Amino acid sequence: MPWSREDMAARAAKEMEDGFYVNLGIGIPTLVANYIAPDMKVVLQSENGMLGMGPFPFPGEEDPDLINAGKQTITALATTSYFSSADSFAMIRGGHINLSVLGAMEVSENGDLANWMVPGKMVKGMGGAMDLVAGVRRVVVIMEHTAKDGTSKFRPKCELPLTGANVVDMLITDLAVFTRESRAGQFKLIELAPGVTAADVRKKTTAAYRQ
């Protein structure tokens, strides 16, 4: 049985280490926060200018001046700090964030990521995604393994315009987990969703990888 969105988020949460500063993208990556081990100190960065993101507010306690990068109302923690967008991205681009979890439309076998634009459709913009993949030390991507028509989204080459070239370190799909030691290396299949075989994954993947 393939992994659900929650399963994929929970798997990504296992990549957290104590003391990490982490930026979570919008969508499934945001769910990752719910699966971080409670005994682990992980500080969440929100690129609109906050370190130490807390949970959603109780009803009636929401503050219009306190939102995350997905524009959702959130709360602060006792250790929260606020800063400008310029400081926020200096933090991101300067390599101070340990890990980022992002969604994707396509990932290529050499680690290129496409997640911001489909030619011919209205483009909403890349937001902070290009900065995150260029500056964060380790990039974990969560995406469905195949498109609705069954074509592999983990491919020899991205067809869609790139967010970054050679930037993905780990790929978590609903079928499997792929990782690589360095950005010079090839991806290796390291885990399978329950009931999914390595042969199933091979059949549904056009990218080259080791297993």
- What is the set of active-site residues? 47
Residue with Cβ nearer other proteins (1 or 78)? 78
* 8 A C-beta contact, residue 211 and residue 189: yes
Q: How far is the CB of 40 from other proteins (least distance, A)?
A: 14
Residue with Cβ nearer other proteins (36 or 175)? 36
Cα–Cα distance measured from residue 161 to residue 116, given in angstroms and rounded to the nearest whole number: 8
Q: How far is the CB of 79 from other proteins (least distance, A)?
A: 15
Residue with Cβ nearer other proteins (64 or 195)? 64
Q: How far is the CB of 172 from other proteins (least distance, A)?
A: 16
Residue with Cβ nearer other proteins (6 or 191)? 6
186 to 1, 58, 207: CA distances (angstroms): 26, 46, 10
Cα–Cα distance measured from residue 175 to residue 49, given in angstroms and rounded to the nearest whole number: 35
CA 136 to chain centre: 11
Q: How far is the CB of 198 from other proteins (least distance, A)?
A: 31
Structure tokens belonging to residue 83: 């800063």
Q: Pairing relation of β-strands 106-108 and 113-114?
A: antiparallel
Where on the chain is the footprint of other proteins (CB under 8 A)? 30-31, 33-34, 38, 44, 46-50, 53-59, 61-68, 70-74, 76, 82-86, 88-90, 92-93, 112, 117, 122-131, 134-135, 161-166
Q: How far is the CB of 126 from other proteins (least distance, A)?
A: 5
Sheet-wide strand order for 170-172:
76-82, 50-53, 43-46, 21-24, 99-103, 138-142, 170-172, 176-179, 188-192
Alpha-carbon dihedral of residues 117, 122, 123, 124, nearest 10 degrees? -130
Cα–Cα distance measured from residue 199 to residue 5, given in angstroms and rounded to the nearest whole number: 23
Residue with Cβ nearer other proteins (22 or 175)? 22
* 8 A C-beta contact, residue 205 and residue 154: yes
